[in-house]
Amino acid sequence: MNENQLFKPVEQKRVFEDIANQIREAILSKKLKAQDRLPSERELAEQFKVGRLTIREALRTLESKGFVKVKKGSGGGAFVGEGDPGMVASLIIDNLQLEGLTGDQITESRITLECAGIRMAIKNAGMDDLDRVAESIEATREILKPERAGEILAKMVEFHILVAKASHNLPYVLFVRSLMEWGLRMRKNWIPTAEEQAYSYQSHLDIFRSISSKDEKKAMALMEEHIICMGSLGPNSIKM
């Protein structure tokens, strides 16, 4: 194989998987970077010594996992993906639901993870992180109206994800996103009452103030209380 050639021919057994694995490894090792355009189907087929249909199957596999994005038309082709945390979170919850995930398990996990995350946020958050959380809370206050109740859920979720991001711990952020994905699925038809909206807003504000003042013990206690309380409101499901 030419030392400048990125890929090598494969053995004839589930060939598309081997091709997908080689491309995936090239992406993970940064030989291919986000938004890089992959060689054309013809060029890939020549490098791997396979037919173009096999290349398409490999690209479909990679696209389903977020590694590449295939664009049609003029200027189209296969491009390296930029990562999609939302898709990964959805896949995690899909698998957990298949295993029999329950609301009680979600509550227990949220208390454990998000309270621990408070410590990381207090330690690692910069002013930009805190500003983003503050802006989200202020935006929530501005839509505390009965006619805009449908927008509240997204802001509830956003608060928890922004606090997680303030930890600057990528695995932790992914786990919180997964927990929030469960909440969005269970709450898709939930419209919080005025009292529930007001409680969630004030609770988030109190947690944020404790994080800002680096009062770890108080922030963790408020987060646990918030998760338990919101989980007891409304229909049989976990809220934010």
Helical spans, DSSP H, in 143-193: 149-165, 170-186
- Residue 121 lies inside a defined structural domain of this protein: yes
Domain identity same for 220 and 106: yes
Helices 194-212, 103-124: axis angle to 10 degrees equals: 40
Domain identity same for 125 and 190: yes
Instruction: Please give the Cα distance from 167 to 123 (Å, whole number).
Output: 7
Domain identity same for 109 and 36: no
pLDDT > 90 fraction of the chain, expressed in percent and rounded: 54
Single pTM value for the model? 0.74
Domain that holds residue 40: 15-80
pLDDT tens digit string along 22-43?
A: 999 999 999 999 889 999 999 9
Query: b/e string for 35-64 if b means 16 or more Cβ within 10 A?
Result: eeebeebeebbebbebeeebbbbbbebbee
Final residue belonging to a domain, choices 80, 109, 132: 80
Q: Where are the beta strands (DSSP E) in 23-137?
A: 68-71, 77-80
Q: 7-16, 46-55, 120-129: which has the minimum mean pLDDT?
A: 7-16
Domain identity same for 139 and 206: yes
pLDDT bracket for residue 237 (50, 70, 90): very low
Question: What pLDDT, on a 0 to 100 scale, did the predictor assign at position 1?
Answer: 56
Whether residue 160 contacts residue 180, with contact meaning beta carbons closer than 8 Å, is answered with yes
The amino acid at residue 71 is K
Q: What is the largest CA-CA distance in the chain?
A: 68
CATH code where residue 144 lies: 1.20.120.530
Final residue belonging to a domain, choices 53, 80, 107: 80
pLDDT tens digit string along 171-230?
A: 999 999 999 888 888 777 777 888 888 999 999 999 999 999 999 999 999 999 999 988
CATH code where residue 19 lies: 1.10.10.10
- Residue 9 lies inside a defined structural domain of this protein: no
Residue whose pair of structure tokens reads 């501005």 in the numeric block: 142
Can you read off the two tokens belonging to residue 8? 């090598």
- Residue 191 lies inside a defined structural domain of this protein: yes
Q: Which of 66, 64, 93 is nearest to 179 (CA)?
A: 93
- Residue 240 lies inside a defined structural domain of this protein: no
Domain identity same for 91 and 152: yes
If one compares 65 and 136, the residue with the highest pLDDT of the two is 136
Instruction: Please give the Cα distance from 152 to 157 (Å, whole number).
Output: 9
Domain identity same for 121 and 180: yes
